[in-house]
Amino acid sequence: MRIFPSIDIIEGKCVRLTQGDFGKMKVYRENPVEVAKEFEEADLEYLHLVDLDGAKKGHVVNWKVIEAIQAETALKVDFGGGVKSQQEVEELLELGIEQINIGSLAVREPETFVRWMHDYGSENFILSADVKNEMIQFGGWTQASAISIFDLAAQFEKEGLEFLTCTDIHTDGMLQGPNFGLYRKLKKKFPNLKVIASGGISSVDDLTELTYLNLHGAIVGKAIYEQKIKLADLKKLQ
C-alpha cells in the first residue's frame, strides 16, 4: 500500500482543517516546501498536495508552492484543489505533477472529466470523492449532492477511471480512525479500482488494518503534524 503524506495549503502555508471546516484551521508550518523536503529526506516517495484556496475559489491559486515543490524535490506529487480548466490540467502535467485530483468538476461537469481522461490518459487523474454518510459533497466540502459515492464511482469506471480517493468528512482531522466499513464496501463493489483511503488515520495500526483491505494507498495528514505517526514509521509501511 502506498503512503501519501499530505500537505494542505492556505495562503502559501501548511495547514489542516477539521472535518473540512475552514473555520477550524490550524497553521502547522509557514513553508510547505520545507515540509515536502522533510518527507523526501525521510525516504518517502509520494506527496498528496492540496490547494485549499483553489478548492474554495474554483481555480488553482498556490502555483508558486506547486512549482517550488516540483523544482526542489523528486517526490511523486498528486495535486488537487480547484482544477477546473484544460489549461490548468496541461500546466500541471507540464510541471511534472504525477496525477491530478478532480472533485467538484466531476460532479458538475462529468462529461469534461471523461473527456480529460480520454484525451490525457486516465492514469493521470484521480477521482477525488468527499462524502458524508456516503453522499458526495463538493465545492470545497461546502455543498451537498444527491449522488452516492457508489453511483459516482460506477459512472466513471465505465469511462475508464482507474484511481479513486475517498475522504469521509466525518472522520477527517478527528484522529479517531478511518471509516473502514466504507473502504470495505468500495473494494467489494469496485475490485478493479485503485482505492485510496483519506480521513481520520491516526496511527500505524490504522494503516496496518487498511493494508488488509487491499487498498492502493492511504493519505496521512494531521497524524503526522500532531506527531501521532513518525515519518520513519511511514517509510516502513511503504
- List the catalytic residues: 8, 130
Q: Report the 10 Å Cβ neighbour count for 133.
A: 12
Whether the CB-CB separation of 193 and 157 falls below 8 Å is answered with yes
Residue 127 to residue 236: CA distance in whole angstroms: 27
**Look-up of cell digits 484521480:** 126
DSSP 134: T
Write the single-letter amino acid at 159.
E
Strand 2-10 relative to strand 13-18, pairing = antiparallel
Residue 47's closest CA among 67, 12, 16, 77? 77
Whether the CB-CB separation of 196 and 126 falls below 8 Å is answered with yes
The residues near 148 (Cβ < 8 Å, ≥ 6 apart) are: 134, 135, 136
Residue 134 to residue 217: CA distance in whole angstroms: 19
